[in-house]
Structure 1
Amino acid sequence: MNDLLGFFINTHSVLNLRLIFLAHFLLVTYFIFIIISVRRPVGVAFAWIFIVMTFPLLGIGLYILIGERPVGRALTRKIIRMNREYENITKLMRQQFIGDREKLPLEGRALSLLAESKNGSPVVAGNKIELHSNSLKILQNFVDEINQAKKSLHLEFYIWALGGDADRVCEALIAAAQRGVACRVLLDSLGSKDWFKSSWPGRFRKAGIQVTEALPIQVGRFQFRRADLRLHRKIFVIDGAVVWTGSMNLVDPRTFKQDSGVGEWVDAMVRIEGPVASQFELTFSFDWSVDNPKITHFDDREPPVSPHEGGALAQEFSSGPVYRDDILYQVLLSAIMDAREELTITTPYFGPDDGLLQALMAAAARGVEVTLIVPKLNDSKLVAWSSRSFYDDLLNAGVRIAEFHGGLLHTKSLLIDKRIAIFGSVNFDQRSLRLNFEISLIVYNNDFCSKLEKLINSYLAQSDFVDSKIWAKRPRWHHYLENAAHLTSPLL
């Protein structure tokens, strides 16, 4: 009897074990089919397959969280619907300013056409563009702009931090709303999480300021929307006629992330008057309409203001998943390939894919003076180690690498042959290229490029160039750590 009971128990255990193995096999196979159902870089696909097969529960959980780029079914439908309305406006805009393209130098026309493809903004003439690099003065300028506003104030940022002069901007905005200025604030849910938990949202709404939380993180909805897609843009539009954009969030550098051990964050912004301001207003209106659940149809921007005679040629350039997907990658790749004499990149986070890496190396090999400026200390250790994994290839190809030691260099810019500049919120990494909603200004103007070059030279004066011979002698364990950190980059 005992033998018979033992037989049934053993049979039952074996059956359960087989069912577990079968369930494991079917689940892993299902997710492998999901992974290969989307065409992606081979290395990325194999990395995900390896993780899912080796660590099924962890791997599948990670894939659900960050493996795809969906923004959610409802939001995707809304973006597609709004994009049709957006397309009608940009089509008229491109027709209105078609003559300005003829004013472009030959080396800028192809890049401009590429940037306006996929429903983008055209190049427009008559813009007054000022470059600002003192963060505290920029915050004071924000307060002054708010105090002088007559009709509307539209602010869209990744981070609005608490404390310091960032709070003065809050107070000024409340005062503007109380005197009748229409104020709208759009902030990323994750980047501005501390701000949303503070008393400011309540005070804003009480004063009549409209506040919208972009891409809110909702537990239980990760299976429908990737958790780490972020609104990374920096846009401040005053009365539909003036716009500020660049790399700086609404933060006081004296108080922001002072526990990270990297010093103050070093940023730059541009102030723009002219018809290109309406393009930024259009992007803000699109984002506001998409992220505000109360809006069902796209809300148009202010009409463009009169151009400044003899002003700069420029165009707004926005990008993001679903919305103008992959256009940013194409523009950066094209800009690197078009460079003939000099190419200078400033970025806090450097993590290109093989295509961009090869383009940089090819540019250096054909005689272009390629300079990469990154912070010596980074607030992300993983990013820092991963970035250094590229140094050997870049140095051997002739690329100059400068490590800035004056704080965390947060300015994001690309200067091509001292004649074309791409300036804005875009980091030279796969997160900005594939996952974030980003904004840039492309400027085709020698005067502005000269000012940007002067700013870049001030960064170089506070930087140390990486010596290829000394770099080659670094400890061997650094090499392994760098390459190990690099393995994480395709999965972001």
Structure 2
Amino acid sequence: MNPIAYLTQHPEIVLYHGLLALSGVVAVGVLLHLFYQRRSSSAIAAWLMFIFILPYVAFPLYLIIGIRKRKNRYKKESVLPNSAKKSKLTPDAAGNPLGNGPLYDAALNARMELFFDASEAYTALMHAIENAKTSIHISIYILKYDTIGKSIIGILTKKAKAGVQVKLLIDSLGSAPLYLLQYRLKKLRDAGAEVEFFMPIFEMPFRNYINLRNHRKIYIFDDQIALSGGSNISREYFAIPKRKSEWEDIMFLIEGESVESFFEIFASDWRYASDKKLAFNPPKEVKKADIYAQIIPSGPDMQRDTLYETLLSAIYGAQEKISIITPYFIPNDSLVEALIIASHRGVNVTLVTPKEADHAIINLVRCSYMRELEEAGAKIYLYEKAMLHAKAIIFDERSAMLGSVNFDNRSLFLNYEVAAFVYSDKIIAQMLSWTQMLINNSSEGTKKASDARRVFENLLRIFAPQL
């Protein structure tokens, strides 16, 4: 029989081989793009396995969530703070993992306060809003329309009516219910406040990658005071009065030169969302300052993975102690290796993480990394009270990192984040005391696992780059 006639009579054969050929083209295309982006071997293996199993699901998903650095005409401009151009003093290079580069010179600050208690953080936030005279700029990942969210929206509405410039930037995926039900923001907008959603889910389809979310938490008041940390706006973070189910987190207030760095990160995000530029108005009065801080943004709007490089440098440079507090511990191989080498060098490596994270998949994937670290001599503490959502790392009791950054691939390579490296004996002493409190309320060590479970846990590491 004529081959063409045969194929005409059996179109299912043409369809089968056509889909098979298309699968091969898709796999090669994704592989070439992964190589072009110089992705890690684990990321390449994860995507290729996904494409092999479900090629027609994996390919569109890769286009949505697989790209982490954006290089097209809709790309958000890189964060390049004007404050970096100023001449600043820097702390002793031995305690400064960033070095004295031109972009992240340490800024001097007159005041810095830490808030380990949710009620204190909420009080500080409300006090700052109530006392703002000219401007309030807020960037948030999750804003729930619960009792806490309503109270914040209510007072912002009041300040907008009083003539204060209120600008609220909300991540559209993190706050999806509010994004979908925007009538809840009508009074705030009618009062004169400007509200924008970062990467709206159903708008600007060629600008948006649903996997690249704005996880930064920034509050700026009158261009003089900034609040930041890990807390979103909802009852889980700011329950008043304190409840047992309330999450443990850390926020900080800073006053000084670092406020300008926070402002310029916010201004860059705001321009991307609204196409409007903002200008910083520095305070006229210069207060005595002695607290050094370096504000480091990370994410798709950065040309390099500066924060990741900083963490690696700080881990390799540590001489005595590294204390990591994080809700999600899913590092890449380089970070794990750096921590293991640090432990072998005699550095006291400590990890404090929740006994049960708020995502079941996280509990499974993290186990392999924690066991590997524990076997290398590190101490693992599982916090047994409410969900531990705080993010902080202390190096040699000389410097500390805190902010919105989790110790995982998503925070370090996908999300828009911001962290502060702080150099202050007083601040670090407070953080050490808080860390010890967490350890006192934790169980030490991971549970013993069967060989079968270990194999399963190690298998899940293939999917770690996407979490």
Query: So what's the TM-score if we normalise by structure 2?
Result: 0.91
Q: Does 1:354 align with 2:333?
A: yes
Q: Does 1:397 align with 2:376?
A: yes
1:105 matched residue in structure 2: 92
1:185 matched residue in structure 2: 168
Greater fraction helix: 1
Distance 1:352 1:220 in 2: 32
Q: Does 1:280 align with 2:262?
A: yes
Q: Does 1:160 align with 2:139?
A: no
* Matched residue type, 2:380: I
Structure 2 contact 136–165 (Cα < 8 Å) conserved: yes
Q: Which aligned pairs between 1:86-485 and structure 2 lie closer than 5 A?
A: 86=80, 89-93=82-86, 95=87, 97=88, 100-101=89-90, 104-113=91-100, 116=101, 120-196=103-179, 197-218=181-202, 221=205, 225-253=208-236, 263-293=245-275, 295=276, 298-303=277-282, 306-466=285-445, 471=447, 473-485=448-460
Note the C-alpha offset of 1:15.
5.0
Unaligned runs of 5+ in 1: 257-261
Structure 1 contact 129–312 (Cα < 8 Å) conserved: yes
Distance 2:210 2:3 in 1: 53
Distance 2:367 2:204 in 1: 37
Q: Deviations for 1:364-389, whole angstroms, at most 9, x for unmatched residues? A: 11111111000001111111111111
Q: Deviations for 1:114-160, whole angstroms, at most 9, x for unmatched residues? A: xx55xx34212243111111112322222221111111111111111
Distance 2:248 2:411 in 1: 19
1:30 matched residue in structure 2: 29
Structure 1 contact 70–226 (Cα < 8 Å) conserved: no
Structure 2 contact 199–273 (Cα < 8 Å) conserved: yes
Note the C-alpha offset of 1:70.
4.6
Note the C-alpha offset of 1:9.
5.2
* Partner SS for 2:269: helix
Distance 1:51 1:105 in 2: 47
Change (3 A) 1:155 1:475: same
Structure 2 contact 26–59 (Cα < 8 Å) conserved: no
Change (3 A) 1:354 1:174: same
* Partner SS for 1:423: strand
Q: Does 1:488 align with 2:467?
A: no
Q: Does 1:67 align with 2:58?
A: no
Structure 2 contact 354–384 (Cα < 8 Å) conserved: yes
Note the C-alpha offset of 1:178.
0.8
Distance 2:288 2:28 in 1: 63
1:259 matched residue in structure 2: none
Q: Deviations for 1:57-79, whole angstroms, at most 9, x for unmatched residues? A: 12212212222125473431x51
* Matched residue type, 1:276: S
2:47 matched residue in structure 1: 48
* Partner SS for 1:153: strand
Change (3 A) 1:198 1:481: farther
Change (3 A) 1:167 1:331: same
Note the C-alpha offset of 1:175.
0.8
Distance 2:254 2:14 in 1: 71
**Count of matched residue positions in the alignment of Structure 1 and Structure 2:** 462
Change (3 A) 1:174 1:18: closer
Distance 2:327 2:14 in 1: 55
Change (3 A) 1:57 1:241: same
* Matched residue type, 2:256: G
Distance 1:200 1:457 in 2: 42
Distance 1:397 1:250 in 2: 38
* Matched residue type, 2:123: Q
* Matched residue type, 1:48: W
Q: Which aligned pairs between 1:6-17 and structure 2 lie closer than 5 A?
A: 10=9, 14-15=13-14, 17=16
Note the C-alpha offset of 1:33.
3.0
- Quote the RMSD (CA, aligned, Å): 2.7
Note the C-alpha offset of 1:38.
2.6
Note the C-alpha offset of 1:485.
2.8
| Alignment counterpart, residue 79 of structure 1, candidates 70, 77, 80 | 77
* Matched residue type, 2:49: F
Change (3 A) 1:206 1:399: same
Change (3 A) 1:210 1:5: closer
Structure 1 contact 383–485 (Cα < 8 Å) conserved: no
- Deviation beyond 6 Å, 4+ runs, structure 1: 2-6
* Matched residue type, 2:228: T
Distance 1:432 1:61 in 2: 23
Structure 2 contact 325–393 (Cα < 8 Å) conserved: yes
Note the C-alpha offset of 1:49.
2.3
